[in-house]
């Protein structure tokens, strides 16, 4: 049962991911990206990470993608000329190289875990209480530092945008 759900969701996520890339219309790409996000959220449920699932829906599917769509619509991008017309050799080479590196990395990471065997999650795994406790104890510094980095990025973006305006 669980495997069937996982395969279905994984298939949807992967297929939608491919469609994001091959779509010629930016709005459709964004829509397929939303489907990918939704399928990933489903996989989080299978992993019993309920809090992460809800945050995935609220933040990625609900907020970030709305902003994506917002920007695409404001720019009013019509059909792209023809993305396949003149494939840039250099770009393709870099893309293939990077994806091979990523695949190897993923393979090593997943493979070592599979060999070692995954322990079953504790009873309260993935609940809001557990995630909250971890964020404020073991991961307090990473958590706070991340928020400061995000703040810096935000201020930076504002400064850049302002400069262009005046």
Partner 1 sequence: MLETLIITLVKIAVVFGALLLTVAYMTWVERKVIADIQVRLGPNRVGPYGLLQPIADGLKLMFKEDLIPGQVDRVIYLLAPSLSIIPAFIAFAVIPFGDTTTLFGLLSRPVPLHIADINVGILFVFGVASLGVYGIVLAGWSSNNKYSLLGGLRSSAQLISYELSMGLSVVGVLMLAGSLSLVEIVKAQEGVYSFRGIPLMPRWFIFIQPLGFCIYFCCALAETNRAPFDLPEAETELVAGFHTEYSSMKFAMFFMAEYANMITVAALATTLFLGGWLGPIAPSPVWFVGKVFFLLFLFIWLRATLPRFRYDQLMHFGWKWLLPLALLNIAATAIGSMLGPRG
Chain contacts with partner 1 (rule: CB under 8 A)? 27, 31, 34, 50-51, 53-55, 57-58, 61-63, 66-67, 69-70, 73-74, 127-128
Q: Are 30 and 69 in contact (CB under 8 A)?
A: yes
Minimum distance from residue 117 beta carbon to partner 1 (Å): 28
Asked whether the CA dihedral 147, 145, 39, 35 is positive or negative, the reply is positive
How many CB atoms are closer than 10 A to CB 2? 7
- Cα separation, 51 vs 161, whole angstroms: 34
Q: Are 21 and 92 in contact (CB under 8 A)?
A: no
> Which is nearer to partner 1, 74 or 114 (by Cβ)?
74
Minimum distance from residue 23 beta carbon to partner 1 (Å): 12
Minimum distance from residue 64 beta carbon to partner 1 (Å): 10
> Which is nearer to partner 1, 107 or 132 (by Cβ)?
132
> Which is nearer to partner 1, 1 or 114 (by Cβ)?
1
Minimum distance from residue 148 beta carbon to partner 1 (Å): 18
Residue 56: Cβ-neighbour burial (10 angstroms; 0-12, 13-18, 19+): buried
């Amino acid at each position: 049962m669980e495997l069937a759900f996982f395969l279905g969701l994984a298939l949807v996520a992967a297929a939608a991911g491919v469609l994001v890339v091959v779509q010629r219309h930016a709005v459709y790409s964004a829509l397929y990206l939303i489907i990918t996000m939704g399928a990933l959220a489903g996989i989080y449920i299978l992993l019993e990470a309920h809090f992460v699932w809800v945050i995935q829906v609220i933040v990625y599917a609900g907020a970030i993608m709305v902003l994506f769509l917002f920007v695409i619509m404001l720019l009013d991008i019509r059909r792209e000329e023809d993305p396949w017309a003149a494939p840039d050799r250099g770009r393709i080479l870099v893309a293939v190289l990077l994806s091979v590196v990523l695949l190897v990395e993923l393979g090593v990471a997943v493979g070592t875990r599979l060999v070692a065997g995954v322990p079953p999650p504790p009873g309260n795994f993935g609940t809001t209480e557990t995630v909250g406790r971890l964020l404020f104890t073991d991961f307090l510094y990473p958590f706070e530092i991340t928020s400061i980095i995000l703040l810096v990025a935000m201020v930076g973006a504002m400064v850049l945008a302002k400069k262009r305006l005046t």
